[in-house]
Structure 1
Amino acid sequence: MNYLLAIVGLLVVFLLAYAASSSKKQIRYQSIFIMLVLQFLLAFVLINTEIGEFFIGGFAAIFSILISFAMEGIGFVFGGLAKGEQVAFFFSVLMPIVFISALIGILQYTKILPFVIKYIGIVLSKVNGMGKLESYNAVASAILGQSEVFISVKKQIGLLPEHRLYTLCASAMSTVSMSIVGAYMKMIEPKCVVVALVLNLFGGFIIASIINPYEVTAQEDSLEVEVETKQSFFEMLGEYIMDGFRVAVIVGAMLIGFVALIGMVNGIFASVFGITFQQMLGFVFAPLAFVMGIPMQETVGAGSIMATKLVANEFVAMLDLGKSTELSARTVSIVSVFLVSFANFSSVGIIAGAVKALQEKQGDIVARFGLKLIYGASLVSLLSATVSGFFF
C-alpha cells in the first residue's frame, strides 16, 4: 500500500509541475528520467545500505565534532548561561552557525570550495542537461547559502534572461546552506537531513526542467566564478564570523516573531472557530501528506507541520515536529525530509533582495515570479519526501 501511494504521489508531483510549465514542448523527459532514477538509487543507498549508514554516520560525526568545538567558544563567552535549559536552543543550535560560517570562509579563501563546487557542477551539467552556471549554482547554494551564492556569479547576473534567472533562484530556495546543517541535525534525525540534501539537489533540476524548460546554447554555456582575493585572511575571517552571527540572530528573531504570531493566531482561531490555525492548515495540506505515503490517520498532523514550514520557516516547523507525539517514526522521517529546504515566503524576500543588491532590474524580476519560486521549491520538497517514503 505504501508503494502504491508513493507512486501516486510521484504522479501528483509531476502533474502539478506540468500544469505550471512555461513550455511543455521543451521538456526533456530523458534527463528527468535519469535524474529520477539517480534519486531512487541514492535514497536506497543512503537509507537501506551499510554504505549509506557509514556515510551518514561519518557526516553526522563530523558535524558533532565541529559543534563541540563551537561550544568551547560559546562556553567561553557566555559561561554558565550556555548550559541553562531555558536558553539551550539559542546556544546549542543557533550559535554554532558562527563557527561553521568561519570554516566555510577559510575553505573559500583557500579556494578549496570554489574548486570543488565548480567541478561538481560541471559533472552535474552532463547529467541534468542544463548549463554549467545552473549546475554550479545548485551545488554552491547547498554550501554557501541562498544569498551568498549570487555574489559568486555576480558578473553574469545582469546578463541572464528571465528563464535562467528563475532556475538559479529556484536552486537557492530548494537547498539549504551548509552553515545551518548542524543546526538541523540538532533538531531532526541526521539521516533525514543528509537524504534531503542529496535528493533536493537532483529534485531541483527535475522540477525546474518541467516548470521552466529551456536549452542553453554553446555560446551561453559559460561560467565565471567571482572569487574575492582583495581581503587579507583575518579580514575575511572576521567577515564570515559576523555573517554567521547575523544569520544566527536573524533566525532567532524570526523564531520569536513567527512562534508568537502563530500562537496568537491559533488562540484567535480556537476561540472563534474551535480549531487552531495550524489544525486548519493541516486539513488543507492533508491530501499532499497522504500522497507522500503518510497514513490517513496522521495526515492532518503532518500537514499542519508542512504548512507551518511554508507560512513561517523550517525551524518553526522542526520545533513543532519535535513536540509531536502522535506521529509514527516513518511519518516523522518523511516529514523531516520535506522540511529541509528554504521553501517558504520569507525566502522570496531574501533571494530578491540578494539579487537586487547586485542588479536592481533583475531583483525586480525575481520579485515578480516569487510565487512561482515557492510553488516550484515546494514541489521539490514534496518530491524528495515522496521518494524517501519508498525506503523509510
Structure 2
Amino acid sequence: MLQGLLGIAVILIVSRLFCDNNKLVRYGPVLKAFLIQVLLAFIILHFHAVQNVVDHIGNGLTALRNATLAGTSFVFGYLGGNPCPFAITPKSSTFIFAFQALPLVIVVSALAMLLFHWRVLPFFVKILSRFFQPLLGIGGALGTCSAAKLFLSQTETPLLIKPYINKLSKGELFSLMTLGMATTSGSVLVIYALILGEHVPNVMMHLISASLINIPGAIVISRLMVPHDLKPTDGTATQPYEFQNSLDAVYEGTSQGLNLFLNIIAAIIVFIALIYLTNSILQSIGNLFDIKISLQIILGLIFKPLVWLMGVPWEETTQAGAILGLKTIINEMVAFEAFSKVPADALSTNARIIMAYALCGFANLSSIGIQIATLGTIAKDRRSQVISLGFRALIAGTLASCLSGTIVGLLMLL
C-alpha cells in the first residue's frame, strides 16, 4: 500500500518539477481530475455492473475481430485464420500477426469513417465531451478531444477541433499533446488484446479501462507541467470528413486503415531488426569483459525505480522496466509483443495488470514527430510551440499512463 502511495506522490512531484510557470498552477482542477481518475478506476475494478458493461464493449470489439478473421480467412486461407491443411508440430502456432491481427486496423478504420458519415461517432463524442468538460475543468475544444481519444488516434483527434487549434492557450495545446501521448485508439486496442492473449487476466477489460482513466491522468500531469493560463477555449466537434455516401466513407476509411497497416508492419520490422543489431553489438562488447549485456537489460535498469514505484515487486522490476523502456524509445506495439514473450513465472498477475495500463499509450519518440507533423500542418502558426513542447509531452504522457498503472495497482490491494 505504501509503495503505491509513494509512487503516486513521486509521479505528481516529478510532474510539478517540470512545471514551466509555478505561479499559474491551480491545484483545484488538478485535484479534481485526479479524484475523477481514481474514482473511475475504482468503479471499473470493484463494481460488477460496470464490469459487465465493459465486458459487453469488449464483446463488441471481439465481434469486430471475428468479422476481420472472416475476411482474412477468405483472402489468405489458413494464413489468415482458416484451419491449417497440415499437422502442426508441438509448441508451434499458425497465428501470423500480419495476416490475422493487424488487418483489424483496416476494418476498424473503415467502420469509424462510416460511423462518422452517419453522425453516430460525433454524437457519442459530443455526449462524452459534455461529461468531461465540467469534471476535468476544461473547455469545449479540449473536452471534445478528450472524448474523441476513446475512439480515434492522435492524428485524427485534432481534426475535430481544427478551427480552434490556433485559439488554444499554451497549456491547452500541451494537454492536447499529452492526451495524444497518454492514450491509444480503438483501431489498435483489440490488437493489443490479441497480442497479450492469456498473459493478462481480463485483458480487454483492463485495456478499455486504461483508455478511459488515462484521459483524466493526462489532464492531471499536463496541468502540473504546463498550467492553463487563460480562459478555457470553447468549441464543439466539427466534421473533418465529407463523403458522398456510405460507400465513399468505407472506401476512405479502408484507404486510411491500409496506410496504417503498412506503416505498423514496416515500423515493427525495422525496430525489431534494430534491437537485434543493437543486442549483437552489446553482446560482442559484453564478451570482451565477460558480462551479459543487452538493450533490454539496460532499459530494465533505467526504468527499474519507476516500475517499482508503480507497485511491481522489486525482483520483477528489471523485466518490467525493460518492457516500459521499449515502449518509450520504440513504440507500444513492440513493447506489447515483448510483454507477451515474458515467461509466466517472471511477472506476477498484479505486475502484469499494472504494466498493461502503463503500456497503453502512444508515448514514444516517434510520436513526437507524428504530433509535429499533424499539429504543425493543421496550425502552422503553432508549429514552433509544438516542437518546443514535444519532448515534455512525451514525459507527461509516460507519467500519465504510469500514474494510471500505479492507481490500479493500489486499488487491487483493497
TM-score range, shorter chain: over 0.9
Measured after TM superposition, the shift of residue 40 of structure 1 is: 2.1
The within-5 A match list for 1:19-58 is 19-58=17-56
**% identity of equivalent residues:** 26
- Matched position secondary structure for 1:229: coil
Query: Is 2:7 the counterpart of 1:9?
Result: yes
Q: Which residue of 1 aligns with 2:262?
A: 249
Segments of structure 2 that go 5 or more residues without pairing to the other structure are: 85-92, 197-202, 287-291
Aligned partner of 1:110 among 95, 105, 118: 118
Q: Is the 8 A contact 2:222 2:396 kept in 1?
A: yes
CA distance in 2, matches of 1:123, 1:57: 22
CA distance in structure 2 between the aligned counterparts of 1:221 and 1:56, rounded to whole angstroms = 30
Separation of aligned partners in 2, 1:106 and 1:185: 24
Counterpart secondary structure, 1:221: coil
Residue pairs, 1:139-154, within 5 angstroms: 139-154=147-162
**Structure 1 segments of 4+ aligned residues over 6 angstroms from their partners:** none
Deviation at 1:21, TM superposition (A): 1.1
User: Take 1:119 and 1:216, find their aligned partners in 2: how far apart are those partners?
Assistant: 25
Pairwise CA RMSD: 1.8
User: Is 1:155 matched with 2:163?
Assistant: yes
- 1:227 deviates by 4.1
Verify the 8 A CA contact 1:354 1:363 in the aligned structure 2: no
Q: How does 1:1-392 map to 2 (within 5 A)?
A: 3-83=1-81, 85=93, 88-188=96-196, 189-217=203-231, 220-223=233-236, 225-229=238-242, 231-273=244-286, 274-325=292-343, 326-392=346-412
Unaligned runs of 5+ in 1: none
**Aligned residue identity for 2:214:** N
User: For structure 1, which segment, 237-246 or 364-373, has the greater mean C-alpha deviation from structure 2 after superposition?
Assistant: 364-373
Contact 2:171 2:229 survives alignment (8 Å): no
Aligned letter for 1:130? Answer: I
Q: TM (normalized to structure 2)?
A: 0.89
* 1:63-97 CA distance string (max 9 Å, x none): 11111111111112222321374662112221111
Which is richer in helix? 1
* 1:119 CA displacement: 2.9
Alpha-carbon contact 2:126-2:237 (below 8 Å) kept: no
Matched residue count: 389
Q: State the alpha-carbon separation in 2 of the partners of residues 163 and 30 from structure 1.
A: 16
Check whether the contact 1:187–1:318 (CA below 8 A) recurs between aligned residues.
Answer: yes
Please state how far the C-alpha of 1:376 moved relative to its aligned partner: 0.7
Cα pair 1:154 1:226 within 8 Å, conserved: no
Aligned-pair CA distance for 1:111: 1.0
Structure 1 residue 215: Cα displacement: 4.4
CA drift of 1:231 comes to: 3.3
